[in-house]
Chain A
Amino acid sequence: MRLEAIHENCSGCGACRLVCAIENFREVNPSKAALRIEGRFPAPGDYRIHLCDQCGACAEVCPADAIHSRRGIFIVDADECTGCMVCVEECPYGVLIEHKHSEIPIKCVLCAECVRACPREAIILVDDKKKKAG
């Protein structure tokens, strides 16, 4: 399973970012969200959703080997992570987040709370296996 963005459905409300932080940190603090909404204004006047598709680029570059795949979801191991933030720089989507109140980078764990919160189905869950089978 992975997240997929349907950019044209997005209205930029940011509810996805807020629930991401609440679900994972129990904090009302969207700066800790592991996804970004880019408003492209004044032109062309639309939104782009940047989210983690569990590509694993972060795991490949991690010098401490602290990012592991569990059933296709890449998770930062807080005990092994040294906080070097190399992965943050290398994330192709800019959704590994360095935060001044977190010693380790913040990464999407595919809780899919953003999918459930979005009023407009701008973020959906995709099952690649089913897609292939279908």
Chain B
Amino acid sequence: MLHGYAGKILRINLSSGEIKSELLPEALADSYLGGRGFVARLLFDEILPDTDPFGEDNLFIAATGPLTGHFLPASGKTHFGTKSPATGGYADSNMGGHFGPSLKYAGYDALIIGGKAKQPSYLCIEDETVETRPANKYWGKGAIASEQMLKEDLGDDFQIITIGPAGENMVRFACISHDFGRQAGRTGIGVVLGTKKIKAIAVKGTGGLSVFDIEGAYAKGKDAYQKVFAKPGFKGWTPEGTAGLTNWANEVGAFPTRNFQTSWAEHYRQINGKAVLERLKRTDKGCFCCPTPCGKYGHTKTTLGSAYVEGPEYETIALFGGNCELQSIEDVAYANYICDQLGIDTISAGAVISWAVECFEKGMITRENIGRDIRFGDLETVVFLLEKISKREGIGDLLAEGVKLASRKLGQGSDKFAIHVKGLEWSGYECRNAPSMMLAYMTADVGAHHNRAWVLGQDMAGSGASVHDLIAAGGSGERRPKARVSAKSAGYVIQSQHTRPLFDALGVCRLQLMELGFEAENYAELYYLITGRKKNWDELLRISERIWHLTRAFSVREIEGFGRQLDYPPPRFYEEPVSSGPNEGHFLSRKELDMLLDAYYAARGWDHNGIPSRETLERVGLADLADVIEARRNQNRPIQ
């Protein structure tokens, strides 16, 4: 018996209609833990090379971790994975909420969906009863509206994920929605459900999870709760949640503004955590077993309408409030709501729209292309473009491709300010004077996403201080000196790339550790008491390292010509100085970026082109991948 786990994997082939469950292999659990680890290994093993991300053969995987659903702080994470519609490489995206625990209580650690349904459908999982049901009445409806309809039809005790019209209409940055405001936002994960004609997955579980030492785990869970309550950040962090970062990000000059032209927004106090609390918030909204809920649910009223909405979180504030320059928290929240209904990732959406506005200002896209003027700071622009994107209508058809492909199609040098890595739009931290964080974005396996490594603290404060400490200390707002680029950055990034994604494999939220400083060793002890498997924190980190090389290997195999050239940021970040604010005048040169990459590849055991060496793969327990990667190494040699 695999303690801690549900013990089964559920497989659904939508083309053949076959539904079967099989035992979770112990070797998979032992070597990859769960969540992100399961996603990475299953994708590598089960997707045929060169699979079309939009095709029937692509897989959609949902996976929980060994700690998901157990009694400990914030054990509600679910991980989703696929071959990315945004990058063509490895993709995963995770969310909190309550779906993952319910999937485990229903008996399944993971769900693997292949094929394509003949008509719009949804999956209904109630313990061992699994059905594909027609979803015509929900198809075309908003992601939140369809969740509400499904709750009414099935009952409040079902946990549901949905896609919106964007996922149905092949928008490359469509997301998955859950619990009226939680999203697995990134990498276009929602599109893959759309291609399979799956509008929603509903799950209800009434089973229990076996625990190696129930008394010990229960006592340790209570102890962990008390320790979290006692952290100084508990009372400081929770009220504003992630939105509390807004002041600091502006005061240190890391806030993406006007499509990353600058890194500081003059109006940041109108869109900060305090504004969320005072002008929007109705209730804190917690994920499963979370003592520090960052979700803020409230109501917004704007000139275009009013809405109930969860958020906005920091990222949405950064991309809509900073990058699109929406001037009030109400406007940011309304854009957030429109994205939630349409099923669009707010990060990519904010990046795509700000890119489009800059193209318009430069005359690369015209009024004739769009049918109207578009501008920064204008909610009408944002809502208009979001709706066009979700229907792939007019200019929306171009923008729905994401900035990488859209800039290729548009040409005219618009790729220089298409802010992405590998095809995934950049999230909420501007890094032209933050070399470690820049390197984190360059090397994140899914593309330009902050959640693989967050090392802005080291760049700005020279230490690994908790986020709460950084927020509490605040930024000076004064001009910062040009950052010195050193090999130390590679060490910071690698450490963070092992620590943060480890939580995604364990199936719990990392915020208690990252934001409050809750000690990592607690998780190793909980892992032991729940699973009976003895692994100290360092051993767990070694598994996270294995997964990191595995996701890189997946992209090496899947993306033609994959290598160093895909690890650079767009030219704006190495050619243009920041135009204002604390980091005015600064940028990292291409030479400095190369120094960072060289140090990183060397520390990783990858070759000059960023491909893992045979020795490295063998060292981390991935010897079985070495032949495939060697073959690719020879094909992918960079053109000199």
Contact = CB atoms under 8 A, between A and B. Distances in A.
A28 B288 CA distance: 13
Given A13-B293, A14-B98, A14-B289, A28 B70 contact: yes
Interface in B480-510: none
Interface in B35-76: 69-71
A45 B229 contact: no
Interface in A83-134: 99-101, 116-117, 119-120
B285 interface: yes
A28 B291 contact: no
Given A41-B308, A119-B225, A11 B206 contact: no
A119 B516 CA distance: 15
Interface string B283-294: 111111111110
A56 interface: no
Given A39-B180, A41-B180, A29 B299 contact: no
A117 B225 contact: yes
A13 B287 contact: yes
B229 A119 contact: yes
Interface stretch (A15-23, A61-69, A74-82): A15-23
A105 B487 CA distance: 63
B565 interface: no
Interface residues of B, number: 42
A38 B285 CA distance: 12
Interface residues of A, number: 35
A100 B157 CA distance: 15
Nearest to A119: B291
A115 to B, nearest CB: 13
B298 A30 contact: no
A117 B283 contact: no
Contacts of A101: 206-207
A77 B534 CA distance: 41
Given A11-B284, A47-B283, A119-B229, A28 B297 contact: no
Interface in B329-344: none
Contacts of A32: 208
B574 interface: no
A60 interface: no
B180 to A, nearest CB: 4
A118 to B, nearest CB: 9
A31 to B, nearest CB: 4
A27 B205 CA distance: 13
A117 B219 CA distance: 12
Contacts of B144: 42
Most chain B Cβ neighbours within 10 Å, of A41, A43, A117: A41
Contacts of B292: 119
A46 interface: yes
Contacts of B289: 13-15, 18
A18 B71 contact: yes
A19 B288 contact: no
A105 B582 CA distance: 64
B71 A11 contact: no
Given A8-B283, A11-B284, A45-B299, A29 B180 contact: no
A47 B295 CA distance: 14
A26 interface: yes
B299 A15 contact: no
B343 to A, nearest CB: 15
Nearest to A99: B206
Interface in B90-120: 98, 101, 105
A38 B218 contact: no
A99 B71 CA distance: 21
A91 B222 CA distance: 31
B242 to A, nearest CB: 15
Interface string B564-599: 000000000000000000000000000000000000
Given A19-B71, A22-B214, A31-B206, A14 B148 contact: no
B283 A11 contact: yes
A127 to B, nearest CB: 24
A12 B286 contact: yes
Contacts of A41: 148, 179-181, 297, 308
B230 to A, nearest CB: 12
B71 A46 contact: no
Interface string B203-221: 0011111010010001000
A8 B156 CA distance: 20
A41 B282 CA distance: 12
Nearest to B288: A14
A29 B71 contact: no
Nearest to B218: A22
A11 B283 CA distance: 7
A101 B298 CA distance: 39
Contacts of A15: 71, 225, 289, 291
B180 A28 contact: no
Contacts of A30: 101, 105
B156 to A, nearest CB: 7
A41 B179 CA distance: 8
Interface in B142-178: 144, 148, 156-157
7 contacts: A13-B293, A22-B214, A28-B209, A45-B298, A101-B206, A101-B207, A117-B222
Given A22-B214, A29-B208, A46-B282, 6 more contacts: A11-B290, A13-B286, A15-B291, A32-B208, A42-B308, A119-B229
3 closest A-B pairs by CB: A11-B286, A29-B208, A13-B286
Interface of A: 8, 10-15, 18-19, 21-22, 25-32, 38-39, 41-47, 99-101, 116-117, 119-120
